[in-house]
Amino acid sequence: VTTPAVSKTLFEKIIDRELPATIVYEDELCLAFKDIHPCAPMHVLLVPKKPIVQLSQAAPEDQALLGHLMLTATKVAALEGLGEAYRLVINNGAAAGMSVSHLHLHLIGGRPLKWPPA
């Protein structure tokens, strides 16, 4: 019995270099690239190379990976010159604004950020 190939998400295609993106950071576990529709002067998406669908589907075995993503976000913020002023966002599920079914962190900065967001 063969399992039908599941089609790749947009972000898997970027990870595999099948689609172009402006990559700002990469290591063995994750990739960071500029959002194509930035909502601030600096808007980077940080994705694990492991195709976790969304945060709520992460498993206990993903704990170290999730920590790595958080720490890498601070590294990318520094690389992008954001200092200590930036926001991290994870949309979980379509009703929360998630449009690509591959876990991603939005790293946003470069302008004053109000809370709660509009």
104 is annotated as an active-site residue: yes
Residue 21 touching ligand 5GP (CB under 6 A)? yes
CB 101 within 8 A of CB 9: yes
Residue 10 touching ligand 5GP (CB under 6 A)? yes
Q: Which is nearer to ligand 5GP, 60 or 117 (CB)?
A: 117
Among 30, 31, 33, 105, binds ligand 5GP (CB under 6 A): 33
Question: Which of the stretches 51-59, 70-78, 95-103, 109-117 binds ligand 5GP when contact is defined by CB under 6 A?
Answer: 95-103
Q: How far is the CB of 113 from ligand 5GP (least distance, A)?
A: 15
Q: Which residue has the tokens 């950071």?
A: 25
Q: Which residue has the tokens 């492991």?
A: 50
Extract the runs of DSSP E, i.e. beta strands, from 18-104. 23-26, 30-34, 42-48, 86-89
**Burial (CB count within 10 angstroms: exposed 0-12, middle 13-18, buried 19+), residue 31:** buried
Cis peptide before 51 (omega within 30 of 0): no
Q: Out of 43, 102, 104, 106, which one is annotated catalytic? A: 104
Q: How far is the CB of 76 from ligand 5GP (least distance, A)?
A: 14
Q: How far is the CB of 36 from ligand 5GP (least distance, A)?
A: 3
